[in-house]
Amino acid sequence: MKIICIGRNYPEHAEELGNEKPESPVIFIKPDTAKLQSRSPFYIPPFSNEIHHEVEVLVKIRRIGKYIEEKFAHKYYQEIGLGIDFTARDLQQNLKDKGLPWEKAKAFDGSALIGNWFDKDNFTDFKKLDFKLNKNGTIVQKGNTSQMLWSIDTLIAEVSRFFTLKIGDIIFTGTPSGVAPVVENDILVGYLGEEKAFKVNIK
Ligand code: MG
């Protein structure tokens, strides 16, 4: 199982980090060891002083595919979810400045929080779905899937040009604005529509 992440898929988030809006989706991968076990706390790793939360809508792939046409992409997923792409922003900035790959900042153990899964048909319209992240009782990030620069179906078509998608692969579809550091004892709760998708304690 692999985790495919999309960067800069919401215009306001690209702006807040001073990034240009890309001409095509930014894609990177986290290994299966990045998955944070459910109900496990997130432990701030010793190599970073600035771990950011990035709340993102997730898509679970349910059939194998390569060169998937956008018009058929909807057949490749039934469940969507919500998670966090934990990012060592200090390390990432350092790597970006040097033009180096981001893996150490993005793909470390525990960096992919994967919440509960929901049938996409349970939502009135999952392509216009609100989601939010609550930190210690305050909403710190909120978005709507309609704000994506590239829709889920477009992303599946684009990603599968480069990487064969396999059953159980997960796509992180990018974060809206509001990314910020986490500190010890923070409690993060994510909601997809009205559904509670995860709760995680920062240690
Ligand atoms: Mg992200």
- Express each pLDDT in 29-58 by its tens digit: 999 999 998 789 999 999 999 999 999 999
Alpha carbon of 135 to ligand 1 centroid (Å): 17
pLDDT tens, position by position, 48-93: 999 999 999 999 999 999 999 999 999 999 999 999 999 999 999 9
Sign of CA dihedral 27, 124, 198, 142: positive
Find, among 148, 130, 131, the residue nearest to 21 by Cα: 148
Q: How many CB atoms lie within 10 A of CB 146?
A: 11
Cα R_g (the chain), whole angstroms: 16
Q: What does the block give as tokens for 13?
A: 């988030």
CA of 124 to the centre of ligand 1 (A): 26
Average pLDDT over residues 83-110: 97
| Domain residue spans of the chain | 3-201
Question: Please, what is the average pLDDT of the chain?
Answer: 96
In a 3-state reduction of DSSP, which class is residue 21? coil
Tokens of 187: 């409690």
How far away, in angstroms, is 7 Cα from ligand 1 center? 5
Query: Candidates 3.30.70.600, 3.90.850.10, 3.60.70.12, 2.40.128.20; correct CATH number of 3-201?
Result: 3.90.850.10
Task: Give the Å distance between the CA of 67 and the centre of ligand 1.
Answer: 24
Instruction: Map residue 15 onto helix, strand or coil.
Output: helix
Q: What is the reported pLDDT for 143?
A: 96
Q: How far is the CA of 72 from the centre of ligand 1 (A)?
A: 25
Beta bridge partners, 58, equal 81, 172
CB contact set of 65 (below 8 Å; sequence gap of 6+): 76, 156, 160, 164, 165
Mean pLDDT in residue range 18-22:
78
Residue 21 has pLDDT above 90, yes or no: no
C-beta of residue 175 within 8 angstroms of C-beta of residue 144:
no
Q: CB of 153 within 8 A of CB of 74?
A: yes
